[in-house]
């Protein structure tokens, strides 16, 4: 805003809200105003929830997930099959797989992908802890659920190599047509992969 | 999420973030994760800023604006012309007009529009304070900058009526073609108004 129309506290709130993904400078103003108007119903409980997250959230020392306990809820859940480990790049991938609720297993969060140009080598990712976890013997299968990008696939190859000496099956997610997807809109790589991995009807 | 994958604090944070305008359930998850990851750079300062807003923000008893001081920054700014008052429905309208920075004047925030069906009569809006402000004598012109909706126009007529006994000029925003707007996309009402109020070139 060109001239001061409100106290610096409100300007600062807007500036910080604009950094939240999903909000831009314009929607941050709208969000700030909404929060201020709904002081008791939204601003107060949200501030409290954020303060609690700030206090309690930590990274799980076993799998790299974020949670309010360490080991995290997933690592400490005795009903999860300890023989299968899904390796993901990021916590958001873990959450996505949990929403699909396809498998009742544990995870390992790498914290990114190998990217030498950005200075991200094996030591910057949670790879050592993964090898140690697998070497401990309980894990029988490691599913590499990394993104189907160049960096993701490079990382997958590196991990396969690191795990090759251990008694563990290494698998990866299937490539194919997304459920609900239209062939017309798919790229050639996906279509070729879907044809190659065709299954009996 | 179908089963517990994180502590209740994170779930609660996501639920509350989803109530912020501009964020939905999906982007709230992304926002929560981003906040948790950028604990020191974003979560901590944003929590502090929200706490401060919670503490300090109040409604200006003169004009109905929200600010960290009462009277607000605008009402207490001696460089603003006290002879003109712009009446708006909401604080967001005040902010929009200030961004345009077209006039260095003061405001009066109604807090809504007359809407008998929703139980909003004159007593639910800041109308009494407006009449009192104008009756005090310093204000020479009241610009009704209410929305061009049925409720907005009804409210404008009511206000004109209330102010008719006072020695004040009541004006309203011009109707016309938005700057940068294409005629092809404009409704008939706007075009008719723009033709009627045509000006010399």
Weakest-pLDDT range from A134-143, B2-11, B71-80, B186-195:
B2-11
Interface touch B92/A29, C-beta < 8 Å: yes
**pLDDT band at residue B162 using 50, 70 and 90 as cut-offs:** very high
pLDDT at residue A152, rounded to an integer: 92
Partners of residue A78 in chain B, C-beta under 8 Å: none
For A198, the 3-state DSSP assignment is coil
A58 and B CB contact within 8 Å: no
B68-110 residue pLDDT tens: 999 999 999 999 999 999 999 999 999 999 888 778 999 999 9
Q: Do A48 and A76 belong to one domain?
A: no
Partners of residue B3 in chain A, C-beta under 8 Å: 98, 101
In a shared domain, residues A132 and A89 = yes
Q: Which residues of A touch B19 (CB under 8 A)?
A: 42, 46
Is B90 domain-assigned? yes
Q: Looking at residues B169-182, what average pLDDT do you find?
A: 89
Establish if B182 belongs to a structural domain: no
* pLDDT recorded at residue A181: 82
Q: How near does any CA of chain A get to the CA of B201, in Å?
A: 31
- Chain B nearest-CA distance from A112, in A, is 13
If one counts the domains in chain B, the total is 1
Q: What percent of chain B stands above pLDDT 70?
A: 99
Establish if B167 belongs to a structural domain. Answer: yes
pLDDT at residue A3 in the model: 62
Q: Which pLDDT score, from 0 to 100, does residue B185 have? A: 86
Q: Which of residues 10-39 of A touch B (CB under 8 A)?
A: 10, 12-13, 16-17, 19-23, 27-37, 39
Residue of B nearest to A90 (CA): B33
Q: Are residues A50 and A119 in the same domain?
A: no
Residue A101: predicted pLDDT: 78
User: Residue B113: what pLDDT?
Assistant: 94
Q: Which residues of chain A have pLDDT under 50?
A: 1-2
Beta strands in B29-77 (DSSP E): 58-59, 66-67
Is A181 part of a structural domain of the chain? no
Residues A82 and A115 in one domain: yes
> With an 8 Å Cβ cutoff, is A105 touching chain B?
no
Question: Across all residues in chain B, what is the average pLDDT?
Answer: 91
Query: How many angstroms away from the CA of B123 is the closest CA of chain A?
Result: 19
CB contact under 8 A, B1 and A98: yes
Rounded Cα distance between B177 and B137, Å, is 35
Shortest distance between the Cα of B113 and any Cα of chain A, in A, equals 16
Residue A2: what pLDDT?
46
Q: Tell me the three-class secondary structure of B88-145, residue by residue.
A: ECCHHHHHHHHHHCCCCEEEEECCCCCEHHHCECHHHCCHHHHHHHHHCCCCCEEEEC
Shortest alpha-carbon distance between residue B194 and chain A (Å): 29
Name which of B106, B110, B103, B104 is nearest B131 in CA terms: B110
pLDDT at site B200: 82
Together in a domain, A96 and A72: yes
Domain region containing A71: 66-172
Contact B120, B106 (CB under 8 A): no
Task: Write the residue in B1, B22, B37 that is nearest to A31 by C-beta.
Answer: B22
pLDDT band at B35 (very low <50, low <70, confident <90, very high): very high
CA distance B16 to A47: 10
Q: Is residue B194 part of a domain?
A: no
Considering CB atoms only, which of B12, B31, B36 is closest to A22? Answer: B31
Pick among A24, A39, A50, A95 to test the B interface (most B CBs inside 10 A): A50
For the segment B101-121, the average pLDDT, to the nearest whole number, is 91
CB B89 within 8 A of CB B112: yes
Q: Within a domain: residue A178?
A: no
- Find chain A residues with C-beta within 8 A of B7's C-beta: 56, 67-69, 73
pLDDT at residue B2, as a whole number? 46
Residue B148: predicted pLDDT: 87
Greatest distance between any 2 Cα atoms in chain B: 69
CB A90 within 8 A of CB B86: no
Residue B193, pLDDT score = 87
Which of the two residues, B10 and B102, has the higher pLDDT score?
A: B10
Burial B92-119 (b: 16+ CB within 10 A, else e): ebbbebbeeeeeebbbbbbbebbeeeee
Interface ipTM > 0.85: no
Inside any domain, residue B126: yes
Whole-number pLDDT of residue A1? 42
Domain assignment of residue A164, yes or no: yes
Whether residues A40 and A75 fall in one domain: no
Residues in chain A closer than 8 A to B46 (CB atoms) = 13, 16-17, 19-20, 50
Domain of residue A44, CATH code: 1.10.8.420
For residue A164, list its beta bridge partners.
none
CATH code at B111?
3.40.1360.10
Q: Are strands A66-67 and A58-59 parallel, antiparallel or unpaired?
A: antiparallel
> What pLDDT score does B3 carry?
62
């Amino acid at each position: 805003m060109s001239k001061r129309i409100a106290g610096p506290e409100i300007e600062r709130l807007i500036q910080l809200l604009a950094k939240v993904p999903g909000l831009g400078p314009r929607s941050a103003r709208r969000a700030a105003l909404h929060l201020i108007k709904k002081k008791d119903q939204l601003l107060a409980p949200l501030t409290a929830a954020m303060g609690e997250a700030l206090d309690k959230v930590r990274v799980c020392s076993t799998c790299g997930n974020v949670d309010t306990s360490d080991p995290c809820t997933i690592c400490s859940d005795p009903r999860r099959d300890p023989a299968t480990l899904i390796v993901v790049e990021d916590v958001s991938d873990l959450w996505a797989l949990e929403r699909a609720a396809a498998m009742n297993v544990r995870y390992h969060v790498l914290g990114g992908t190998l990217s030498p140009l950005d200075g991200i080598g094996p030591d910057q990712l949670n790879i050592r802890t993964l090898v140690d976890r697998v070497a401990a013997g309980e894990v029988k299968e490691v599913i590499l659920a990394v993104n189907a990008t160049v960096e993701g696939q490079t990382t997958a190859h590196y991990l396969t190599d690191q795990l090759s000496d251990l008694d563990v099956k290494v698998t990866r997610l299937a490539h194919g047509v997304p459920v609900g997807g239209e062939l017309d809109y798919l790229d050639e790589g996906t279509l070729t992969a879907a044809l190659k991995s065709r299954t009996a009807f």
